[in-house]
Chains A and B, each alone.
Chain A
């Protein structure tokens, strides 16, 4: 791995260093303040023939996206355990590093996994700035990478890399079909509400591409906002028949709780990108959930297919809570790795062949048919238009109303 990346950069000399490191890692590393040993791979178990296939996962375990990181990690572990942590005759070892939602830290962790732990592959990235920030490094080092969440459109467009594939979504995907759907089926008078950061503005942009009605106002609270009262009055003042929102995590918790308190949705419909009404939110806010919200997403808990039932049941019994879209993405990310390893029979030394195998991975995912788009290296997603309902046994979950098959990022 290191060898080919060095060749790519024309770094002949470092080869000697990387080979020597195997002997010195423990010794000299420990001498350098005794930190080198941290995060080393666990010893190999029996069963597989080839050397361990090391997957370095850069996922947040602290700060704002910790919940998402946990879901993705759980999903990955669930799938790897399902296949006995083996694929293509090699044992799969997962090395975790905390992304923290700070680009420089995420890049430092990526460097550690690539250069110190000699991982064969990188997976993860929840926050778009972290994925985009690591992109150049991964590309220069020719490191096969699977993005498990970060939706920045640019990664499928101007900054797409032959080494980086995305198993989650681009921000464009869930919101693009929603514009037309809302205009045709709900109302032509909409106010946009989105967290003022890249994902929010990209989602709003995709919505506007297909929305034929009037945008009455664009309300843009900052990311990680606490008090939504001024934004709620801005929404009221614009007198919309519906809002289209892009908020997620605690932002969605706060907004929906406060909107309920002032009964904002008495005669305003809720539509949006589905992240903000996923299980992590609805389980936290319970009866403050905006029942009846129409949202677009590449998955729904209640999707009626065998893979999804297997996945949600196994997830519930192992982790004691309902799976969310992020867990599903982790599950699929792990599956892409295993399927690609199987396809090349564990021979990852031939990197172009391994990347080809990743590009060619196809399977029945909990979200439906999973495949990559060769033009963008991004996953082609079915987009489900869902309604939030209160289910007597599951609580607040989304039920699918309409399916839009094969939504692929336009790539520019």
Chain B
């Protein structure tokens, strides 16, 4: 007991230090490239945290999470291109787009485990093929996607340009922190505990009277909405929404981030996402051409090393150290 108490202030201290670290990125980043990398990493972190709700807490190994990211990216892009680029409605559009598509994708909820994984994968590939279909090019841009997506405009401070890397970074950081706090509240709530119960033993939860399907559906929709939010940010970060974002490789990278970071911890997958973005950039830019071409292979080796030697992921490593 006393040991726990001693740990708490340290944890707070760690969190505060981490927050200061995040806030100060634009101050010490050597150039705007690294500020942009930080934004990219945070967007991917939001995406990975939303996936962690499914994989880590609800025990639903979704391999099609990219579909919801793409829904947010396309929804946000269409909204910004045709209606308005005001920030708050755009954030809502990202959430709504992800949530609505999750409602469609919920047919995968009938299955569990590996079957759920395959169904979500198939669902996302269908979304990808619709997005890249040139017959719908007038609306969705075909395989080129939607381009010239404007950056959002802040409410009450329209003159603070989100084209500036640092400003956009603070926007993604704010959203990432809100998403983290929201997800942390969800997993700590009775709802979150029920999800964990369903993960451990669905039959038992059912016999206790929990409508488990509804719980799983709610988790799926929350995760989809937050993935859509990440997608909307990613779309305005890249000024475009492209079909490739819905491809299974995007889902795969997010899954790697969750596992490498340590699932069922939120911060773990966020850290994993940052590592994946850095590895992707670093490994694919290696000076040795032969190696750079095989960055996926190197990422795979790193991933296997994590699975073998750090089964709890980065978060597990931190926990072991703290204990």
Contacts and interface: CB of A to CB of B under 8 A. Distances in A.
Contact of A201 (B36, B134, B234): B134
Given A61-B289, A133-B238, A17 B31 contact: yes
B292 interface: yes
Given A18-B31, A62-B293, 5 more contacts: A38-B286, A61-B293, A97-B284, A112-B33, A136-B147
Nearest to B249: A102
Contact of B32 (A35, A108, A115): A115
Contact of A103 (B28, B142, B244): B244
A20 B240 CA distance: 31
B10 interface: no
B278 A35 contact: yes
B30 A198 contact: no
Given A14-B164, A98-B293, A115-B36, A35 B31 contact: no
Nearest to A42: B287
Nearest to A135: B147
Interface string B115-143: 00000000000000000101001000011
Contacts of A102: 244, 249
A198 B33 contact: no
B144 interface: yes
A156 B250 CA distance: 31
Interface in B123-173: 132, 134, 137, 142-145, 147-149, 161, 163-166
Interface stretch (A21-29, A300-308, A330-338, A402-410): A21-29
Interface string B253-297: 000000000000000000000000010111011110100111100
Contacts of B148: 135-136, 159
A97 B292 CA distance: 9
A133 B145 contact: yes
Contacts of A97: 284-285
12 contacts: A9-B161, A11-B163, A21-B30, A24-B30, A28-B30, A29-B30, A103-B242, A116-B31, A129-B242, A133-B147, A198-B134, A201-B137
Nearest to B73: A104
Contacts of A100: 284
A14 B244 contact: no
B79 interface: no
Contact of B293 (A24, A27, A66, A154): A66
Contacts of B34: 28-29, 32, 36, 116
A64 to B, nearest CB: 12
A104 B163 contact: no
Contact of B147 (A34, A39, A132, A196): A132
A92 B27 CA distance: 33
Indicate the member of B148, B240, B286, B287 with the most A CB atoms within 10 Å. B240
B143 to A, nearest CB: 5
The contact size tier of chain B is 35 or more
B271 to A, nearest CB: 12
B240 A103 contact: yes
A11 B167 CA distance: 11
Contacts of B163: 9, 11, 140
A242 interface: no
Contacts of B239: 136-137, 140
A266 interface: no
A48 B144 CA distance: 41
Contact of A39 (B132, B142, B244, B286): B286
Given A38-B285, A133-B147, A198 B31 contact: no
Given A24-B30, A29-B30, A115-B33, A196 B245 contact: no
A27 B30 CA distance: 9
Contacts of A18: 31-32
A103 B145 CA distance: 10
A10 interface: yes
Contacts of B238: 103-104, 107, 133, 137
A9 B161 CA distance: 9
A35 B285 contact: yes
A39 B117 CA distance: 38
Nearest to B134: A201
B282 A33 contact: yes
Nearest to B163: A9
A10 B151 CA distance: 15
Interface string A97-133: 1101011110111011011100000000000110011
Indicate the member of A10, A24, A96, A116 with the most B CB atoms within 10 Å. A116
Contacts of A128: 144
A132 B282 CA distance: 24
Contact of A36 (B30, B36, B166, B245): B30
A319 interface: no
A13 interface: yes
A152 interface: yes
A21 B242 CA distance: 32
B194 interface: no
A66 B164 CA distance: 34
A105 B238 CA distance: 10
Contacts of A159: 147-148
Interface in A267-282: none
Contacts of A129: 143-145, 242, 244
B40 interface: yes
B283 to A, nearest CB: 8
